Amino acid sequence: MKVVFANMYQGLLYEGKIDDRDVFSKFWPSVYLEQYAALEPDVLMLAEAPLDDARGRSRFVEELAQRMGARSAHTDVHGESWLVEGKYYGLAMLSRFELADYRSIALGNPGLEIDLSDGTRGHMHLKTMQFARIQAHGRDIKLFNLHYYPIWYFGGKLSAAKYAPLRREFVDSLALNEKEPVILAGDFNNGDGTLFQEVPELFESGKLRSAVAFAKEDFDERYVGGKYQLDHILYTPGQLAVSSGAVVRDRSDHHGIVAEIEVV
């Protein structure tokens, strides 16, 4: 099955930096709809998807679900957009397989604050993770879609010892075991190091493995992560296998990723 993840920056088109400030030309989510529908994903997970209201309704997600032939689609609101007046943003999970046992899982909030350039005080808002089960090729598979806290933005480092309980709580919420294979996709916001360095608990005992690794050319001036890959698809080795993977260049300040995942 083809699994795709993308952080689509609320549907805006990224144009690069001017004087070290990110510049976006316009709100044009149909560009993302066309590109990701054309990939014909079986499972598509999005961060910063454009939503129309506080209940998570989204014409964009509805149209994308129709185009890709999704049987199920769920959204999870993370907040009101600070970029497009009257819009909201959050997670979206779309699948050609039925999304069973769907729920939103609250992630422990470190509660950090920072002084912003406009003189206001920035607060770290609660984030959630989407969860569902699918049955694919005779196997039950757990899906997780994540947009983790940007601790680096608040001057912290996710790998710091004081965040060890937070990392452990997150990994424990995945309930990794030898019976249920897992696919975990997301923007992990590991801005100060590789994902292995910042959240080593994810890779304990080889329970998870990365499906797609960025090449040197993927760390270009348009990529928000600088020299570290923020966007990942992780899977359970031994129960699942990756036959191919690729980076998707879209109009966000991130890059999408796509992986062909097989049930072993």
CA 153 to chain centre: 17
* Cα–Cα distance measured from residue 153 to residue 147, given in angstroms and rounded to the nearest whole number: 14
According to DSSP, residue 40 is labeled -
- Note the pLDDT of residue 21: 82
Q: How far is CA 218 from CA 31, 121, 171, 211, in A?
A: 20, 34, 28, 16
- Note the pLDDT of residue 167: 97
Q: Specify the pTM.
A: 0.96
- Note the pLDDT of residue 140: 96
CA 128 to chain centre: 11
- Note the pLDDT of residue 256: 98
DSSP 236-250: -BTTEEEEEEEEE--
Sheet holding 2-7, edge to edge: 72-80, 88-95, 43-51, 2-7, 256-263, 240-248
CATH architecture of 2-263: 4-Layer Sandwich (3.60)
- Note the pLDDT of residue 249: 96
The helix or strand, by DSSP H or E, that contains position 169, with its residue range, turns out to be helix 164-173
- Nearest alpha carbon to residue 76 among 95, 101, 49: 49
> b/e map of 233-250 (b: 16 or more CB within 10 Å)?
bbbbeeebebeebebbeb
Domain boundaries, the chain: 2-263
- Note the pLDDT of residue 144: 98
Backbone angles phi, psi at 251, to 5 degrees: -95, 10
What residue ranges of the chain have pLDDT lower than 50? none
Q: How far is CA 97 from CA 137, 194, 239, in A?
A: 10, 32, 18
Q: How far is CA 10 from CA 1, 55, 142, 154, in A?
A: 26, 16, 26, 21
- Note the pLDDT of residue 253: 95
Amino acid at 16: G
